[in-house]
C-alpha cells in the first residue's frame, strides 16, 4: 500500500482565506439549517400584518406609527436565529475546532456576526420598506427605511452575537438571549425610528443615522472582546 | 514546529475536585503518550488544557522547537496542535465533502491534503453523503481526516479508536506510526492499549 509521504509544511489559509472559509460555512449553515432568512422575514411580515388587525386598518391611525412599528418588528425578528450562532457549535464540539484555527476567537465571533448580518439583517432590511409601506409609510421614505434598517441590522447582529455568547451553555438559552439582548436593541430602535420620524416631518435624518452608525461601531468593539471572552469561558 | 511538549507542576481543579496536582511531563518529537485512568480521572481535562481550551489552575504548558526555543502558545496551538475530542465537530446537515473541506481549509492544508485524508480513511464513497447518514465509525473517520489533511505536529486524541471497527483501528494505528516516524507527537486518552509503542501516564482513579 503506497501512499504519498506526509507533507510537513501545511499551507496556512492566511487571514483572508480563513475568513472566507469560515464565512462561507456560516452562511451555508444559516441558509440550510432551518431558521435563517426566510423564517425571519416571514415572522417580520406576520408581525406587521397583525398590527392592522389589532388597531384597525385606518391609514390615519397606521400611517404615523408605520416606521416605529417596522423597527419594533425588525428588532424582534432579529432575535429569532441568534440561538443557532454558538449553541450548536458548543454542543457538537465545533467550537473547539474553531478555537484551534489560525484566527483568534475575537475574529471568529466577528465573522459569525458578519454572517448573521448577511443572512438575516440584509434580507430583513430589504423587506422592511415593503412592510412599512403596506402599513401606510409614504413611499418617499422607503429608501431611507431600507438604509437605516441595513445599518441598524448590523447593530442587531453585533449585540445579538454578544447575547448569544453570554447565554452560551445556559439551559433555555434562547429565552435568556432575548432577555439579555432586547434592552441592548433599544438604542438602534430609537435612532432608526427617529430617522424616519424626522424625515417625515421634513427635517434631515442625518443626525439620527449618525447616531445609529456610532452605535454599530461601539457594538463592534464591545462584541469582539466580550463575546470572545464569553465563548472561551463556556468552553472550559 | 513543535519538538517538545513540557508540562510543569500542572494542577487542574474542576468544581470541588482536584483532578491532578503537580503533574510534570516532557514529550519529545516521535514519542506517544497514553493517558489512562478511571472515568472522571481527568484525561479529557488534561487534553483540553494542553489544547488551550481549559485554563490550568497552576503550572505551565510549554511548546519548544528543535533548538529549544519557546514557541508562542497562541501561534503554536493555532498552527501545530490537533484536538480530536469525543465529539466529532461535524454538522449533520452538510456533506462529507463540505465538512472535510472545511476542516482542511480552516486548519491549513497541504496541496493534496483533502485527497490524502479521503484516501487514508476511505472517505471517497461517502463524499456526497450528508453527515447525518453516516455511522458513528464513519463520522469518526471523517473527523480524523483533518489529522491527515492538515499536518500538525501535536495530536491530542480523546478515545480516538472507540467507534472504529477492526479494519480502521489498524489503519489508524498505521497513520499514528507514520506521524511518529515523521517526528510528530501524540497524546491520547485511552482505555484499550494503543497498538503503537507508547509511554503511559496513569491519572489514577477518583480521588
Residues A39-89: pLDDT tens digits? 889 999 998 888 888 888 787 888 888 888 889 999 999 988 888 889 889
Crossing angle between the packed helical segments A59-79 and A186-200, to the nearest 10 degrees:
150
Contact A92 B178 (CB under 8 A): no
Is 3.30.70.260 the CATH classification of the domain at B4-202? no
pLDDT of residue B201: 86
| Subunit contact A96:B103, Cβ cutoff 8 A | no
pLDDT at residue B19 tops 70: yes
Q: Which residue of A has its CA nearest to B184?
A: A8
The three cell numbers of residue B144 are: 480524523
Residue A3 is predicted with a pLDDT of: 39
- Taking any CB pair shorter than 8 Å as contact, residues of chain B touching chain A are 1, 51-55, 74, 77-79, 81-83, 85-91, 93-94, 98, 102-103, 105-113, 116, 119-120, 146, 148, 150-152, 178-179, 182
Residues on chain A touching B102 (C-beta within 8 angstroms) = 21, 25
CB atoms A104 and B87 under 8 Å: no
pLDDT at B134 over 90: yes
- Three-state SS at B28: strand
Cell of B205: 482513579
Average pLDDT score over chain A = 87
Percentage of chain A beyond pLDDT 70 is 92
- Considering only alpha carbons, which residue of chain B is nearest residue A12? B108
Task: Provide the CA B188 distance to its chain's centre, in angstroms.
Answer: 7
Q: What are the chain B neighbours of A91 within 8 Å (beta carbons)?
A: 87
Measure CB to CB from residue B79 to each of A12, A88, A98 and give the nearest one: A12
A98 contacts B109? CB cut-off 8 A: no
Give the pLDDT band (50/70/90) at residue B199. confident
Query: Does pTM surpass 0.95?
Result: no
Q: Which of B83, B91, B94 sits opposite A96 (nearest CB)?
A: B83
Q: Does residue A4 register a pLDDT over 80?
A: no
pLDDT at A2 over 50: no
Q: B151 to chain A: which residues are within 8 Å by CB?
A: 6-10
Inspect the interface and report whether the beta carbons of A29 and B93 lie closer than 8 Å.
yes
User: Residues A28-47: what's their mean pLDDT?
Assistant: 83
Chain B residue numbers with beta carbons less than 8 Å from the beta carbon of A100 are 51-52, 77-78, 81-83, 107
Task: Select the residue of A13, A96, A104 nearest B108 (Cβ to Cβ).
Answer: A13
Q: Stretch B28-57: mean pLDDT, rounded?
A: 90
Q: Note whether B110 contacts A101, CB cutoff 8 Å.
A: no
A97 contacts in chain B (CB < 8 Å): 83, 89, 103, 106-107, 146
Task: Confirm whether the ipTM is greater than 0.90.
Answer: yes
For strand B32-36 and strand B154-158, is the pairing parallel, antiparallel, or unpaired? unpaired
Residue of chain A with shortest Cα separation from B102: A21
A17 vs chain B: nearest CA distance in angstroms? 8
User: Which chain B residues touch A90 with a CB distance below 8 Å?
Assistant: none
Average pLDDT over residues A176-195: 92
Q: Are B174 and B162 in contact (CB under 8 A)?
A: no
Q: Alpha-carbon torsion A102, B155, B114, B192, what sign?
A: negative
Per-residue model confidence (pLDDT) at position B206: 52
- CB hemisphere CA count around A59 (13 angstroms): 6
Alpha helices in chain A, H assignment, sequence order: 14-32, 36-55, 59-79, 87-91, 94-99, 105-116, 122-134, 142-166, 173-184, 186-200, 206-235
**Directed axis angle between helix B96-107 and helix B136-149, to 10°?**
30
CA dihedral B131, B132, B138, B144 (to 10 degrees): 40
Of B98, B108, B179, the CB nearest to A10: B108
Instruction: Give the span between the Cα atoms of A233 and B20, in whole angstroms.
Output: 21
Cβ within 8 Å, pair B91-A94: yes
Q: What is the pLDDT of residues A99-125, one digit of tens each?
A: 999 899 999 999 999 999 999 999 999
Contacts of A11 in chain B (CB under 8 A): 108-111
User: What pairs with residue B70 in β-bridges?
Assistant: B64
Amino acid at each position: 500500500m503506497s501512499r504519498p509521504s506526509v507533507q510537513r509544511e501545511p499551507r496556512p489559509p492566511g487571514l483572508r482565506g480563513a475568513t472566507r472559509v469560515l464565512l462561507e460555512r456560516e452562511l451555508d449553515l444559516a441558509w440550510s439549517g432551518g431558521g435563517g432568512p426566510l423564517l425571519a422575514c416571514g415572522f417580520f411580515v406576520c408581525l406587521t400584518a397583525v398590527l392592522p388587525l389589532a388597531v384597525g386598518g385606518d391609514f390615519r391611525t397606521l400611517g404615523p406609527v408605520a416606521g416605529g412599528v417596522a423597527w419594533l418588528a425588525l428588532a424582534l425578528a432579529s432575535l429569532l436565529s441568534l440561538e443557532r450562532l454558538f449553541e450548536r457549535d458548543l454542543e457538537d464540539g465545533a467550537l473547539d475546532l474553531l478555537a484551534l484555527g489560525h484566527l483568534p476567537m475575537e475574529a471568529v465571533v466577528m465573522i459569525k456576526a458578519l454572517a448573521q448580518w448577511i443572512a438575516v439583517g440584509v434580507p430583513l432590511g430589504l423587506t422592511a420598506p415593503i412592510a412599512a409601506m403596506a402599513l401606510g409609510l409614504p413611499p418617499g421614505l422607503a429608501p431611507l427605511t431600507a438604509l437605516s434598517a441595513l445599518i441598524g441590522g448590523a447593530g442587531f447582529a453585533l449585540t445579538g452575537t454578544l447575547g448569544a455568547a453570554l447565554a452560551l451553555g445556559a439551559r433555555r438559552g434562547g429565552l435568556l438571549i432575548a432577555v439579555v439582548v432586547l434592552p441592548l436593541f433599544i438604542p438602534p430602535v430609537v435612532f432608526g425610528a427617529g430617522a424616519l420620524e424626522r424625515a417625515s416631518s421634513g427635517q434631515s435624518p442625518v443626525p439620527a443615522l449618525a447616531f445609529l452608525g456610532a452605535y454599530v461601531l461601539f457594538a463592534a468593539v464591545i462584541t469582539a472582546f466580550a463575546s470572545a471572552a464569553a465563548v472561551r469561558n463556556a468552553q472550559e | 514546529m513543535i519538538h517538545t511538549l513540557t508540562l510543569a507542576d500542572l494542577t487542574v481543579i474542576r468544581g470541588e475536585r482536584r483532578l491532578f496536582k503537580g503533574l510534570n511531563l516532557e514529550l519529545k518529537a516521535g514519542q506517544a503518550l497514553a493517558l489512562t485512568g478511571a472515568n472522571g480521572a481527568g484525561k479529557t481535562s488534561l487534553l483540553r488544557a494542553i489544547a488551550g481550551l481549559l485554563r490550568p489552575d497552576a503550572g505551565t504548558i510549554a511548546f519548544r522547537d528543535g533548538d529549544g526555543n519557546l514557541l508562542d502558545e497562541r501561534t503554536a496551538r493555532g498552527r501545530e496542535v490537533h484536538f480530536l475530542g469525543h465529539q466529532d465537530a461535524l454538522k449533520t446537515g452538510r456533506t462529507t465533502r463540505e465538512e472535510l473541506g472545511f476542516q482542511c481549509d480552516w486548519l491549513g492544508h497541504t496541496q493534496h491534503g483533502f485527497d490524502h485524508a479521503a484516501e487514508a480513511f476511505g472517505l471517497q464513497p461517502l463524499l456526497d453523503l450528508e453527515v447525518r447518514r453516516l455511522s458513528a465509525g464513519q463520522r469518526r473517520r471523517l473527523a480524523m481526516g483533518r489529522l491527515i489533511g492538515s499536518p500538525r505536529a501535536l495530536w491530542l486524541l480523546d478515545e480516538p479508536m472507540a467507534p472504529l471497527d477492526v479494519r480502521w483501528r489498524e489503519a489508524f494505528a498505521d497513520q499514528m506510526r507514520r506521524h511518529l516516524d515523521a517526528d510528530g507527537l501524540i497524546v491520547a486518552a485511552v482505555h484499550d492499549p494503543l497498538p503503537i509503542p507508547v509511554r503511559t501516564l496513569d491519572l489514577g482513579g477518583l480521588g
